[in-house]
Amino acid sequence: MATVSIKDVAARAGVSPGTVSNVLNRPEKVAGGTRARVEAAIRELGFVRHGSASTLRAGHSRTIGLSVIDIGNPFFTDVAAGVEDMASERGYAVILGNSSGSRMKEERNLLVFAEQRVRGVLITPSDEDPGRLDRLRERDIAVVLVDHPAERSSQCAVAVNDVTGGAMAVGHLLRGGAGRIGYVTGPAAIRQCQDRRRGAEQALAAAGRDPAELREIAMPAMTAKAGQQAAEKLLAEDALPDALFCANDLLALGMLRGLLQAGVRVPDDVSLIGYDDIDFASASTVSLSSIRQPTYQLGRVATELLLDECDNPDTHAHQQIMFQPDLVVRESTR
């Protein structure tokens, strides 16, 4: 039958509703005996607090939103795992929003977050427009950028240095003797793609080469399928580069499949390096060299910053944290 409310619990325990609420939210304020009686009543009646009522009255929820670009990408799954662990340690629930790289879907997810009155939002923005985020902040919703450097110092952000990562990747290719290098990337709006390219160009320059040599193959998505299409595109032309740097491992795995199917040998004909070092990178046909990032940590730390901002708004100091990536060499590069 109908839902059991705080009133029913109060009646059963012989106290007032307010006291039940206190037991729930500030147990230390209520005397031991009373508390025990209330807790017993809660258990017997199977009471579960009405989150909406609580949110409505209290003005805020115990919920945070997480908006990612592609939940199908193991990189984001790992981040999400870190977020979820930290959030549930602190008693928060996570609403996940997947933008699939579509600005419209991202927008809609943020709307859902706003409607649910989440306490804060973790977001890996799919483009550089800060407007949406400002609108959230106007609504008293804390925002922490994930895998994206801060746009200003008045906000928290957690990122990994993508320029360094890009330089590591291409530096490694150059040390392997690569001549012409191709950069397989995703939508131009995605900052990670830009930064990794900048790093690649720096590595070229550092080796005394012209950064403009870098041949860019841009795809509309950063999935394995897109990677395979990039391979087809590349093969349709005459001259294959000596080495390919892919902006993430999914692209690289798709590229690898595409190349192998066409009889191109990796790394003998073409060196190939990815980015993210997802689990599957080491399991692929030719195991994939890649750039490793502290993914799970990224999620955990971002969540910690967000919850600190929520729970201690006065003492909170905004932080911009930048992790460093690592080069992982496997079979796909000379």
Partner DNA sequence: CTCCGCGCGACAAACGTTTTAACACGATGT
Partner DNA sequence: ACATCGTGTTAAAACGTTTGTCGCGCGGAG
Residues that bind DNA (CB under 7 A): 2-3, 5-7, 14-22, 24-25, 29-31, 33-34, 47, 49-50, 53-54, 56-59
With vertex at residue 114, the alpha carbon angle to CA 133 and CA 23, rounded to the nearest 5 degrees, is 120
DSSP 285-323: SSPPBEEE--HHHHHHHHHHHHHHHHH-TTT----EEEE
Q: 279, 311, 322, 324: which one contacts its own copies (CB under 8 A)?
A: 279
* Contact call for residues 95 and 112 (beta carbons, < 8 A): yes
Q: Which residue has the tokens 């949110």?
A: 55
Residue 207 as a binder of its own copies (CB under 8 A): the answer is no
CA dist list (Å): 312 to 55, 174, 249, 307: 18, 48, 38, 8
Of 87 and 200, the one with the shorter C-beta distance to its own copies is 87
Tokens coding 157 = 């952000």
Q: Peptide bond before 125: cis, by omega within 30 degrees of 0?
A: no
- Minimum distance, C-beta of residue 239 to its own copies, in the bound complex (Å): 26
Of 13 and 224, the one with the shorter C-beta distance to its own copies is 224
Q: 40, 283, 322, 329: which one contacts its own copies (CB under 8 A)?
A: 283
Q: Which does 7 bind (CB under 5 to 8 A by kind): DNA, its own copies, none?
A: DNA
Return the axis-axis angle of helices 32-45 and 17-25, rounded to nearest 10°.
100
How many Å apart are CA 305 and CA 144, to the nearest integer?
A: 7
Contacts to its own copies from residues 107-126, by CB under 8 A? 108, 111-112, 114-117
| Interface characters, 136-175, with its own copies (x: CB under 8 A) | ---xx-----------------------------------
Question: Which span (184-192, 198-206, 284-292, 322-330) binds its own copies, by CB under 8 A?
Answer: 284-292
The distance from CA 98 to its chain's CA centroid, rounded to whole angstroms, is 10
Binding site for its own copies (CB under 8 A): 3, 46, 48-53, 55-56, 61, 63, 71-72, 74, 77-78, 80-81, 84, 88, 93-96, 98, 105, 108, 111-112, 114-117, 135, 139-140, 224, 253-254, 256-257, 279-280, 282-287
